[in-house]
Amino acid sequence: MPNQVTVPFHGSQLLIIEHNDQPYTPMKPIIEGMGLAWQSQLTKLNNNPKRWGITKIIIPSIDKHNQMVCLPLRKLFGWLQTLSPNKVKPEIRNLVIQYQNECDDVLWQHWNQQDSKPTPQVMPPKSMRLLMVMEQGQIVSTQVVPNDCMVFGRSEIPDLIKEPGFFSIQDLKRIADIAMTKITEAAQSNIQAIGHR
- Residue 40 confidence (pLDDT) above 70: yes
Q: Which residues of 46-57 are buried (b: 16+ CB within 10 A; e: fewer)?
A: eebeebbebbeb
Sign of CA dihedral 142, 145, 150, 155: negative
- Residue 33 confidence (pLDDT) above 50: yes
Task: Look up the pTM and report it.
Answer: 0.53
- Give the model's pLDDT for residue 181: 92
DSSP 3-state of 162: helix
Please report, for the chain, the start and end positions of each structural domain, with discontinuous segments joined by +: 4-114, 154-195
CATH of domain 4-114: 3.10.260
Q: What residues have CB less than 8 Å from 17, skipping those under 6 apart?
A: 2, 3, 4, 5, 23, 24, 25, 26, 57, 59, 70
Q: In this predicted model, what pLDDT tens digit does every residue of 76-101 receive, in sequence order?
A: 888 888 888 888 888 888 888 888 88
C-alpha 27: how far from its chain's center? Answer: 14
Contact 52, 44 (CB under 8 A): no
- Give the model's pLDDT for residue 34: 86
